[in-house]
Structure 1
Amino acid sequence: MSFLMSLKAMSLKAFIENPIVLSSLTSWVMAQIVKALVVLLGSRKKSPRELVETIIWRTGGMPSSHAAVVCSMATAVGVYDGIGSNLFAVCFFFAMVAMRDAMGVRRSSGLQARALNLLGRLTSDRLGFEYDPVKEIQGHSPLEVVIGALLGIFIAAAFAWL
């Protein structure tokens, strides 16, 4: 029993100390912190709760944490396993799909939801019925994705070479 526990502890330690995991996690945290700073500097009143939500959970905004994480992962895998490895190929195309989705499908869905909510509010005001708004999922602009991708690449490079 203690051997199995020791084996699990060693596996968990190896996972936590893995440079690919560390660079990806650091990229996500840094992107969310930068995003919270952008929100803080870009608006007059933000509650501490909103800033904590931005750091921990909120999507959309500058920079893209999605792009930061997947580019950090792909870069780290490229450095440690080589760009000719099968794992790098999978990570590279996963990053491409995630970034395309962030600025394509998710952004379009959010813009459509915003237009639908505006139309619903206007119609509700005119006709006097209650409208329940749909959730507006935020995607990313191309600039937000590029900045997030660069952040992830630089962080993975720093973990590999510093």
Structure 2
Amino acid sequence: MDEAFTTVDGSSSVASDSLQPSIIPLNVPLLSAFLALSLAQFLKLFTTWYKEKKWDPRRLVRSGGMPSSHSATVTALAVAIGLQEGTGGSVFAVALVLACVVMYDASGVRLHAGRQAELLNQIVCGLPPEHPLSHVRPLRDSLGHTPIQVAAGALLGCLVAYLMRT
């Protein structure tokens, strides 16, 4: 009986040590996702400059553009979970489905919503000044991503997750 008590007592001390709060949480999938998001948003400054030859600091917080930060974030999360816990678990399945939905939405629904906004802005700009809608503030038209932007974001997310693995 003493032997069983000692074993239980020893394992409970190990479990309580692992539950001690650390100063910096080491959740690699979460850190990978946030790092991929930050890198993608930062890279948009340079891709915008390359394409438009102007610095636009608003790109740090806006959606749309190259690479897709949405894709980078969810891909980094899914890949980091897959590397840490394996690809056979439910958590990886949820992360993978979430990544697929987000990337599909970014290159489908949000891309087309942005194109519709661009067209509506052109129509409103063509209205005569006396029309009640002629002074309406333009809609944001940089909402979604092209498939290339989504792929670039996904590649960035994979790279970040791979480099962050423990």
TM-score grouping bracket, smaller chain normalisation: 0.7 to 0.9
Q: What is the rounded CA distance, in whole Å, between the counterparts of 2:22 and 2:99 in structure 1?
A: 26
Report the equivalent of 2:50. 41
Report the equivalent of 1:61. 65
TM-score (norm 2): 0.79
Task: Assess, with a 3 A threshold, how the Cα gap between structure 1 residues 114 and 97 changes in structure 2: closer, same or farther.
Answer: same
**Cα distance, 1:158 vs structure 2:** 1.1
Q: What is the rounded CA distance, in whole Å, between the counterparts of 1:155 and 1:76 in structure 2?
A: 9
Unaligned runs of 5+ residues in structure 2 are 1-19
Deviation string for 1:74-110 (max 9, x for gaps)? 0000111110100000000000000011011111111
Q: What is the rounded CA distance, in whole Å, between the counterparts of 2:161 and 2:155 in structure 1?
A: 10
Contact (CA 8 Å) 2:48, 2:54: kept in 1 or not? Answer: no
Contact (CA 8 Å) 2:111, 2:145: kept in 1 or not? Answer: yes
Report the equivalent of 1:150. 155
Correspondence 1:67-106 to 2 at 5 A? 67-106=71-110
TM-score (norm 1): 0.81
Report the equivalent of 1:6. none
Contact (CA 8 Å) 2:67, 2:150: kept in 1 or not? Answer: yes
Pick one of 19, 23, 40 that aligns with 2:32: 23
Q: Percent identity?
A: 35
Task: Assess, with a 3 A threshold, how the Cα gap between structure 1 residues 37 and 45 changes in structure 2: closer, same or farther.
Answer: closer
Contact (CA 8 Å) 1:109, 1:137: kept in 2 or not? Answer: no
Q: Give the structure with the larger helix fraction.
A: 1
Pick one of 93, 115, 120 that aligns with 2:119: 115
Report the equivalent of 1:4. none
Matched length: 144
Task: Assess, with a 3 A threshold, how the Cα gap between structure 1 residues 120 and 20 changes in structure 2: closer, same or farther.
Answer: same
Aligned-CA RMSD value: 1.8
**Cα distance, 1:25 vs structure 2:** 1.2
Report the equivalent of 1:10. 21
Pick one of 133, 144, 148 that aligns with 1:139: 144
Unaligned runs of 5+ residues in structure 1 are 1-8
Q: What is the rounded CA distance, in whole Å, between the counterparts of 2:112 and 2:161 in structure 1?
A: 30
Q: What is the rounded CA distance, in whole Å, between the counterparts of 1:64 and 1:135 in structure 2?
A: 17
Task: Assess, with a 3 A threshold, how the Cα gap between structure 1 residues 123 and 114 changes in structure 2: closer, same or farther.
Answer: same
Contact (CA 8 Å) 2:32, 2:160: kept in 1 or not? Answer: yes
